Amino acid sequence: GAVVSQHPSWVICKSGTSVKIECRSLDFQATTMFWYRQFPKQSLMLMATSNEGSKATYEQGVEKDKFLINHASLTLSTLTVTSAHPEDSSFYICMVATNEKLFFGSGTQLSVL
Amino acid sequence: GESVGLHLPTLSVQEGDNSIINCAYSNSASDYFIWYKQESGKGPQFIIDIRSNMDKRQGQRVTVLLNKTVKHLSLQIAATQPGDSAVYFCAENMGSSNTGKLIFGQGTTLQVKP
């Protein structure tokens, strides 16, 4: 079945810097990937839908200029948190949807100092 | 033991007992539902799913029940083990099946006492 690889697993950065998170579909060509965010002790919230070869679709309240999504190939989507601030510290998770199942990445814990 | 999902976020059970975790979903048009298990610092792990044309589905030690009339979903875990300790989320798929646009419930922490 499809396997999703997400990198890095955790990252610590200074406020104002940008951080890139990669999500790779290893066994499946994914035209669509999804990015979720999870704050401590809270549920997962959908941030955006990443579409291969076109612009991402953002959920209400998610700043597209702050959370840049690039889906340049069928196996890779990247989420860049630009000018990160402490309030962006969160667990970011990607997900790939195949015809039958949904597969999550292992998540990236972002800590902004 | 039984939780009311959104109002009782922690369920504590004795090892070997059966666990029931409840979830209320929001959209009567949702046609696909999934239960996930999440351990600390990890991504969600698929447990079991059910489509809206079914009211019950069984897996290994787990059963999902769907009541569309009251928009209620439950996860039953038989003979709960310490390794079952985690946070459990229900998710509803808004719109067509497998679109990936999942709306997650609040989550219930399951604590298994040895």
Q: Is the pLDDT of residue B110 over 80?
A: yes
Computed from CA positions of residues B81, B87, B88, B93, in that sequence, does the dihedral angle turn out positive or negative? negative
Whether pLDDT at B109 is above 90: yes
Residue of A nearest to B93 (CA): A102
Contact B40/A at CB under 8 A: no
pLDDT digits (tens, 9 = 90+) for B24-44: 998 888 888 999 999 988 889
pLDDT digits (tens, 9 = 90+) for A51-73: 888 899 999 999 999 999 999 88
Residue keyed to tokens 């298994």? B112
Interface membership of A46 toward B (CB under 8 Å): yes
What per-residue confidence (pLDDT) applies to B100? 65
What tokens does A104 get? 């999550």
- Give the residue from A32, A89, A102, A104 with the most B CB atoms within 10 Å of its CB, the best one to mutate: A102
> Strands A108-112 and A10-13: what pairing?
parallel
Q: Which residues of B touch A49 (CB under 8 A)?
A: 100-101
Task: Give the chain A residue whose CA is nearest to the CA of B50.
Answer: A101
